[in-house]
Chain A
Amino acid sequence: MNVGIVSYGVYIPRYRIKVEEIAKVWGANANSIIDGLMVYEKSVPDMDEDTITIAVEAARNAINRAGINPEKIGAIYTGSESHPYAVKPSSTIVAEAVGATPDLTLADFEFACKAGTAAIQTCMGMVDSDMIELGMAIGSDVSQGAPGDALEYTAAAGGVAYILGKNNQVANIESTYSFTTDTPDFWRREGMPYPEHGGRFTGEPGYFKHVTSAAQGLMERMGTKPSDYDYAVFHQPNGKFPTRAAKMLGFTNEQIKPGLVVPRLGNTYSGSCMMGLAATLDIAKAEDRIFMTSFGSGAGSDAFSFVVTDKIEEIRNGAPSVEKYLENPIYINYATYARHKGKIKL
């Protein structure tokens, strides 16, 4: 396919809370949680940050990184499971804030944690068919776990934006394939603040079944194998799942290492594997081949195969890297965290 990533940008809020701090509040054993999840800390949004502000910062970083003219962006799709409005698109605010209005089409996407990769696929089709010159696909979330629920240890905040186009590709998208079924592993009803999940049901029939099926499906169609890739990125609800999925598929720990951002970040939901891809692009060289598979509960997975071009060097330092956002965090305690997340109603 003659479509690829032309630029990308990320944003991670400055605050972190350590797993120990959350465990202390609930009288839980922090070490067994850290061992079980392979997550040490997670990002927390500031009180005036939400999915939209995070999406805007990521989108501006993507535009600045490659010096994109925002008026050439013909479509913006924002994927999230925490859009601030039930009715009123996040994408209109993002488009206005990056100067892309009014000559474009946009919509918000929802598919648990894979809404952002579904947005990438939509932009790919529109660019490839010459409906638009450039499309922007965003994954952004300020995820919520109910107080005391297992998800509270990992539900984090962050956003990633990719600009897709034909010219000046920094990573060509060789192919994509999706695997989707109706699987009720995780849901949140309208008006409810926190999601519900099927406990252990989330692992095998949810995450592993869909991730491995999409990944194997794409490699079969392309005639590739894990050793053909320099790097691989899988959706990261915690550190354990992507590490195990990689092993099941035949990828090594070295291949997934640069993109495994979850131990220091938490699960950024719609931003999760897109953040891992960004961290991998941050260090990738021309000709590197990257494999990525997302997962969204409900359930589905989108697999992609990328080849990095020599243009990556030209845009590498145009915007902050994932590492830049991960270093130098401000740690907060549970009381401050609860206030940031609005768990205490004022």
Chain B
Amino acid sequence: MKILVPIKRVPDSDTRIRVKSDGSGIVTDGVKFSVNPFDAIAVEQALRLKESGAATEVVLVSLGNEECVESLRVGLAMGADRAVLVRVDTALDSLGVAKLLAGLYRREQPGFVLMGKQAIDDDSNQAGQMLAGLLGIGQATFVSKLDLIEGGTRARCGRETDAGIEIVEVQLPAVITTDLRLNEPRYVSLPGIMKAKKKPVEELPAAELASDITPRTQILSFEAPAGRKAGVKVRSVDELIDRLKNEAKVL
């Protein structure tokens, strides 16, 4: 069984994001980029399934320009088998992403798609659900526990919801999106990096996968949120309670 894992290149979660002074975007100079953490978790899970014999091939895909190849190489160094770069030079929204992934899904015919629940730059949390909707297949989102059952024809998933963990079973193929507690991704090893250099990265033009990917979501400008100012340090529990009662009036 083949597992398709989409990965996105995003500013590293440790970087402090700043908005450009003209509001046209975020400052990217000097910013370190990494594989979206949720996607790294998806790659890790796919690799574990392959190592356990449940899957046979892990195929990565990234949508964007040649800079994304760097992220694909990270996934290949972790152990994925091959990668596809879908060449896109214009802005994409989640629906555009889902349409391109649907096109690739039809070409690759994977056993299922395993992807991050959200990208930590846009924080949209949409693409996986949209992909499942376009393909008319099942979905399990925000998954922190994943077991293939019934000979790999179904997945039993623990989903992280606002009310707690929910267990669902879904027929494969399906789209499964990962939450943080699914696993801890491995580090890439030096031999892994060497091997990754020889693994194939196929480049595909977006037009081969979807006809209309013009974003429905048009971002007009960016701004920084109003910052909070640090308040006062209180000296004691008594002072804290007094201020909360008499100054802030919240108790």
Q: Do A and B bind each other?
A: no
B-to-A contact residues, CB < 8 Å: none
